[in-house]
């Protein structure tokens, strides 16, 4: 039986352990099916800093999460073991070293088949996380929820920043270029060439206006068609949400999605072969009434729920395969 979160009927939510959703620490269990890890790093930002403080704040906002997810009809902490792995400590003065540290830590955490949900940090961290995922699964499908493309080449000559991770990932061959899509993009660009380059890399685009006009269900169906049965990584920049729903972020853009729209699209991805995810760019210093960190905690919870459902499916398939082998022998 998995060790679950603290029972809020016995210990109030504002007390007790401070792991995500008050889950056990990774050192309190023998193994985990899913782990949550923070990466308090924001050296790659181009505007407002502060995302280094996000993992702690998202965990704090997650205290109110409850063990049953009715939208997906799953109790994610009951069927599989979920734990908080704490934070990956990285060098704040050396981006290259930080990227290497994140990649090695992610590989260590997922070595035994464990799935990882990462709380950023800025979007620079997506590159090493994708490297670790691709080392296990090969080139992965990517759904990138963001106001921005994050496929620019350099900033001030720097190749590794929060605006360049997916260009580098394509160049390194760790993404399946037939199954890539941005969701929620909007706002001004440096030039039309930004879109031309993006198409050349293989990305499709669903803008925030597309979500508004087409609705969450249709968008989710289009995304499922695009990714098919490929191993899927989801990267969510909290600025995909409108500043009314997520003011606490480094590069806000008007005209974004609502938190409801984003959560409904995530729910619509049920059945996808999700293998990992991140939620990044929460900057608590710019937040109001925990709006942004609350949204981030619910997004992470739904991603964990999708991973739990997928883990159950894999366990059932393994059981059926074992039964078939026994029957044939």
Question: What CATH number does the domain containing 252 carry?
Answer: 3.40.800.10
Percent of the chain with pLDDT over 90: 89
Strand partners, 236: 145, 279
- What's the confidence (pLDDT) of residue 169? 98
Q: How many angstroms separate the CA atoms of 287 and 291, rounded?
A: 7
Quick one: how far is CA 18 from the chain centroid?
20
Q: Confirm whether pTM is higher than 0.75.
A: yes
Strand partners, 36: 84, 117
What is the per-residue pLDDT for 322?
63
Angstrom distance (rounded) from CA 12 to CA 37: 24
Instruction: Calculate Rg over the CA atoms of the chain.
Output: 19
Structure tokens at 307: 């991973």
d(CA 317, CA 320): 5
Evaluate if residue 325 carries a pLDDT over 70. Answer: no
pLDDT in tens, 100-126: 999 999 999 999 999 999 999 999 999
Please report whether residue 5 resides in a domain.
Answer: no
Query: What pLDDT is attached to residue 327?
Result: 61
CA distance 256 to 237: 12
Q: Please check the confidence at residue 324 and state whether its pLDDT lies above 60.
A: no
User: Among 16-20, 160-164, 221-225, 229-233, where is mean pLDDT lowest?
Assistant: 16-20
| 214 falls within a domain | yes
The string of pLDDT tens digits covering residues 150-197 is 999 999 999 999 999 999 999 999 999 999 999 999 999 999 999 999
Cis (ω within 30 of 0) for the bond into 121?
Answer: yes
Q: What DSSP string runs through 127-185?
A: HHHHHHHHHHHSSEEEEEE-SS------BTTBSSSTTSHHHHHHHTT-EEEEEEEEEEE
Whole-number mean pLDDT of the chain? 95
Is 278 contained in some domain? yes
- Inside any domain, residue 277: yes
Write out the residue range of the structural domain in which residue 215 sits.
20-318
**pLDDT confidence tier of residue 285, bands split at 50, 70 and 90:** very high
Q: Does 64 map to a domain?
A: yes
Number of domains in the chain: 1
Residue 153 in domain? yes
Beta carbons within 8 Å of 306's beta carbon, 6+ residues apart: 72, 266, 269, 270, 272, 274
Within 8 A by CB and 6+ apart from 99, the residues are 124, 125, 127, 128, 160
CA dihedral over 131, 316, 225, 307, signed as positive or negative: negative
Average of per-residue pLDDT across 274-298: 98
The predicted-structure confidence for 3-34, as pLDDT tens digits, reads as follows 999 888 888 888 877 899 999 999 999 999 99
Give the bridge partners for 25, in sequence order. Answer: 84
Q: Is residue 149 part of a domain?
A: yes
Q: What pLDDT is recorded for position 9?
A: 82
Answer yes or no: is 4 within a domain: no
pLDDT (average), residues 275-289: 98
């Amino acid at each position: 039986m998995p060790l679950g979160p603290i029972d809020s009927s016995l210990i109030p939510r504002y007390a007790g352990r401070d792991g995500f959703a008050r889950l056990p620490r990774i050192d309190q269990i023998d193994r985990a099916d899913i782990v949550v890890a923070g990466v308090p790093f924001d050296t790659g930002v181009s505007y407002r800093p502060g995302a280094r403080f996000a993992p702690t704040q998202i965990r704090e906002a997650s205290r109110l999460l409850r063990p049953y997810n009715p939208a997906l009809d799953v109790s994610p902490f009951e069927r599989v073991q979920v734990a908080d792995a704490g934070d990956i400590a990285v060098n704040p003065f050396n981006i290259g070293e930080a990227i290497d540290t994140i990649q090695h830590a992610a590989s260590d955490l997922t070595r035994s088949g464990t799935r990882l949900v990462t709380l950023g940090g800025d979007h620079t961290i997506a590159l090493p996380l994708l490297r670790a995922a691709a080392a296990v699964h090969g080139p992965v499908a990517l759904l990138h929820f963001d106001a921005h493309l994050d496929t620019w080449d350099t900033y001030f000559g720097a190749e590794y920043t929060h605006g360049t991770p997916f260009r580098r990932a394509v160049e390194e061959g760790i993404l399946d270029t037939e199954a890539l899509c941005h969701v929620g993009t909007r706002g001004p660009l440096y030039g039309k060439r930004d879109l031309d380059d993006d198409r050349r890399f293989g990305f499709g685009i669903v803008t925030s206006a597309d979500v508004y006009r087409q609705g969450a269900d249709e968008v989710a169906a289009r995304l499922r068609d695009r990714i098919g049965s490929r191993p899927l990584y989801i990267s969510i920049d909290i600025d995909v949400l409108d500043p009314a729903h997520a003011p606490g972020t480094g590069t806000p853009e008007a005209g974004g999605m609502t938190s409801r729209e984003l959560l409904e699209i995530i729910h619509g991805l049920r059945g996808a072969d999700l293998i990992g995810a991140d939620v990044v760019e929460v900057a608590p210093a710019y937040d109001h009434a925990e709006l942004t960190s609350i949204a981030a905690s619910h997004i992470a919870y739904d991603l964990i729920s999708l991973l739990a459902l997928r883990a159950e499916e894999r366990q059932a398939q393994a059981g059926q395969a074992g039964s078939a082998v026994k029957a044939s022998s």
